[in-house]
Amino acid sequence: MPSNKSVSDAPIVQFTNCRILRDHQLQREDLWVREGKILNPEKLFFDEKGSADVQLDCKDSIIAPGFIDVQINGGFGVDFSLATDDFKSGIDLVSQKILSHGVTSFCPTLVTSPPSVYHQVLPQISVRNGGAHGAGILGAHLEGPFISKEKKGAHPEHCLRTFEAGAFQDLLATYGSLDCVQIVTLAPEMSRSSEVIQELTKRGICVSLGHSVANLSQAEEAVQHGATFITHLFNAMLPFHHRDPGIVGLLTSDKIPAGRRVFYGMISDGIHTNPAALRIAHRAHPKGLVLVTDAIAGMGLAPGRHTLGQQVVEIDGLNTYIAGTKTLSGSVATMDTCVRHFQEATGCSVETALEAASLHPAQLLGIEHKKGTLNYDSDADFLMLNDSLYVQATYIAGKEVWRQDGLGM
pLDDT digits (tens, 9 = 90+) for 13-51: 999 999 999 999 999 999 999 999 999 999 888 887 788
In angstroms, the CA 123 to CA 178 distance is 9
Separation of first and last alpha carbons in the chain: 25
Instruction: Tell me whether residue 89 is exposed, middle or buried, using C-beta atoms within 10 angstroms of its C-beta: 0 to 12, 13 to 18, 19 or more.
Output: exposed
Query: Quick one: CATH architecture of 13-64+372-403?
Result: Roll (2.30)
* Cβ density class 102-141: b for 16+ within 10 Å, e for less: bbbbbbbbbbbbbeebbbbbbebbeebebbeebbbbbbbb
**Per-residue pLDDT at 2 exceeds 60:** no
pLDDT for 45-98, tens place per residue?
A: 888 778 899 999 999 999 999 999 999 999 999 999 999 989 999 999 999 999
Name the binding residues for substrate. 154, 235-236, 243, 272, 328-330
> Do 268 and 338 contact (CB within 8 A), yes or no?
yes
Annotated binding site for Zn(2+): 143, 211, 232
Catalytic option among 69, 79, 294, 336: 294
Mean predicted confidence (pLDDT) in 346-359: 98
Residue 47 has a pLDDT of: 84
Architecture of domain 66-365: Alpha-Beta Barrel (3.20)
What's the whole-number mean pLDDT along residues 143-153?
A: 97
294 is catalytic: yes
- Output the pTM of the full model: 0.96
| Binding residue positions | 143, 154, 211, 232, 235-236, 243, 272, 328-330
Enumerate the domain spans of the chain: 13-64+372-403, 66-365
68 Cβ contact list (under 8 Å, min separation 6): 103, 104, 105, 106, 138, 357, 358, 361, 362, 365, 371, 372
The closest of 239, 233, 348 to 292, measured between CA atoms, is 233
Give the tens place of pLDDT for each residue, 289-305: 999 999 999 999 999 99
66-365 has the same fold as 13-64+372-403: no
pLDDT of residue 406: 63
Q: What is the mean pLDDT of residues 213-240?
A: 97
Mean of all residue pLDDT scores within the chain: 95
Cis preceding-peptide flag for 114 (omega within 30 of 0): no
Instruction: Tell me what pLDDT residue 4 has.
Output: 45
pLDDT computed for residue 7 by the predictor? 59
